[in-house]
């Protein structure tokens, strides 16, 4: 039960941080059509998950509970793209090029197709 509380609390913090960062960038970009806020959130999330996971792996700085709170909760709420980036990096680092490319292609292509299918379902209702 403590794990769910850690993840949920972290997810709340990450979601609010995502909204604040994205909204701030949108305001400063004068409503530019390119989704700069989302790009910034994804890039910051990837940098943070790499940094925090690296500290955990190389320096042993975080307990399993703190890792759960930060990596799954906060960064999961901030952006799941950071998890995608981390897992793909791990595959590349482990020499699993085929799985890394498959993960990239399937996540991007099937994700976009899923959004399209969701829109089609909503329109059909």
Indicate the domain borders of the chain: 2-79
For 60: left if phi > 0, alpha if psi spans -120 to 50, otherwise beta; the answer is: left
Write down the mean pLDDT value for the chain. 92
Where do we find the tokens 């955990």?
A: 56
Mean pLDDT to the nearest integer, 100-120: 92
Please provide residue 119's backbone torsions phi and psi, each rounded to the nearest 5 degrees: -65, -40
Q: How confident is the model at residue 110 (pLDDT cuts 50, 70, 90)?
A: very high
Where does 1-125 have alpha helices with state H? 2-28, 36-54, 64-67, 75-78, 80-93, 97-105, 111-124
Distance separating alpha carbons of residues 2 and 121, to the nearest angstrom: 37
pTM, whole model, 2 decimals? 0.79
For the stretch 14-61, pLDDT in tens is 999 999 999 999 888 887 777 889 889 999 999 999 999 999 989 999
Mean pLDDT to the nearest integer, 90-114: 94
């Amino acid at each position: 039960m403590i794990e769910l509380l850690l993840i949920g609390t972290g997810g709340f913090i990450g979601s609010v941080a995502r909204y604040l960062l994205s909204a701030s960038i949108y305001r400063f970009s004068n409503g530019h059509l390119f989704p700069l806020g989302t790009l910034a959130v994804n890039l910051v999330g990837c940098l943070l998950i790499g940094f925090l996971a690296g500290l955990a792996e190389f320096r042993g700085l975080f307990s399993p509970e703190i890792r759960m709170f930060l990596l799954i909760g906060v960064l999961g709420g901030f952006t799941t793209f950071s998890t995608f980036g981390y897992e793909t990096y791990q595959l590349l680092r482990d020499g699993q090029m085929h799985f890394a490319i498959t993960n990239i292609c399937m996540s991007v292509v099937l994700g976009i197709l899923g959004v399209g299918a969701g829109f089609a379902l909503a329109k059909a209702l």
